[in-house]
Amino acid sequence: MQITEALAHLREHHRAVLATLREDGAPQMSPIAATIDDDGAVVVSTRETAMKVRNLRRSPRAWLCAFPDEWYGRWIQVEGDVEIVALPEAMEGLVAYYRTIAGEHPDWDEYRAAMVAEQRVLLRITPTRAGPDHSGWPSSASPRARSASWVWGAGGGGRPRPRRCIGAALALRDVLLDDDRAEESGLAAQGVDGHGALDPAAHRFVADTVSSWRSDPPASAARTGRRSSLHRQAAV
């Protein structure tokens, strides 16, 4: 992925997890809000006393994974060198940071006073790498099959949920491969993006389809001779 593409994503999606390195080399991670400043750096507001700042003063490099509000969706990762900007130099950057993410503050004087009281600093990450560049999916897997797994996600410890993936995959196959039904439901090809994610309308439709399939399995499953066993698996 090009760095410019990752930055464009971060201008629209601000929720992220930031990773820094502890003294023993283990990662320390924090949920944060990130955006892009006028110079193209990733910026994050935090406190001078935060553990991430201590880590960055010792090892000024960070890794960030950003994702949209709806889980799951397209995500990006960025890594780079970090500059810590403290007050008073950080103040106008902190104002721009808030304005970019949340709009106008009702009382900027109050906001500035809060930044001082909280000992706020601005982290500026200069990206040196962005991703993902590769997918774990086999090249033979279709975007629609990937979308089924994307809807249901993975179980605890990174273990996949094959039963639910089977149900979602079959539902997607039956619906999306039927052009008439896809158009009627509003779930045309654009419902699946190039990264194997579903838009919100598609997500809801697939969930409803799989739910209804529990009581009325699609004929395609019967044609394969696996109707009863797959129906039982998808209902788990």
Residue 222: the pLDDT is 43
Indicate if the pLDDT at residue 173 is higher than 80. no
Indicate if the pLDDT at residue 91 is higher than 60. yes
Residues 6+ apart with CB under 8 A from 165: 148, 149, 152
State the total domains in the chain: 2
7 with 124, same domain?
Answer: yes
| Structural domain contains residue 136 | no
9 with 95, same domain?
Answer: yes
Residue 233: the pLDDT is 36
- Percentage of the residues of the chain whose pLDDT score is greater than 90: 51
34 with 54, same domain?
Answer: yes
Q: Which helix (H) or strand (E) holds 112?
A: helix 108-117
Domain boundary among 100, 131, 162: 131
Which residues pair with residue 78 across a beta bridge? 64, 130
Euclidean distance between CA atoms 218 and 220, whole angstroms: 5
66 with 171, same domain?
Answer: no
Phi then psi for residue 131, to 5 deg, are -160, -175
What does the pLDDT average to over 32-47?
97
Residues 6+ apart with CB under 8 A from 178: none
What does the pLDDT average to over 31-48?
97
| Structural domain contains residue 13 | yes
98 with 10, same domain?
Answer: yes
Domain boundary among 67, 101, 131: 131
Euclidean distance between CA atoms 97 and 119, whole angstroms: 16
SS3 category, 142 = coil
Query: What range does the domain containing 81 cover?
Result: 3-131
176 with 60, same domain?
Answer: no
What one-character DSSP code corresponds to residue 236?
-
Packing angle, helices 143-152 and 200-213, rounded to 10? 80
103 with 147, same domain?
Answer: no
Which residues pair with residue 85 across a beta bridge? 122
94-138 pLDDT per residue, tens: 999 999 999 999 999 999 999 999 999 999 999 999 998 666 655
Euclidean distance between CA atoms 5 and 75, whole angstroms: 12
SS3 category, 116 = helix
162 with 76, same domain?
Answer: no
Q: Which helix (H) or strand (E) holds 111?
A: helix 108-117
117 with 163, same domain?
Answer: no
| Structural domain contains residue 137 | no
Nearest residue to 151 via CA among 182, 192, 183: 192
Q: Which helix (H) or strand (E) holds 86?
A: strand 76-86
| Exposure b/e, 126-164, CB count within 10 A at least 16 = b | ebeebeeeeeeeeeeeebbbbbbbbbbeeeeeeeebebb
198 with 221, same domain?
Answer: yes
18 with 105, same domain?
Answer: yes
Q: What rounded mean pLDDT belongs to the chain?
A: 74
Quick check: 234 and 169 in contact, CB under 8 A?
no
SS3 category, 118 = coil
15 with 84, same domain?
Answer: yes
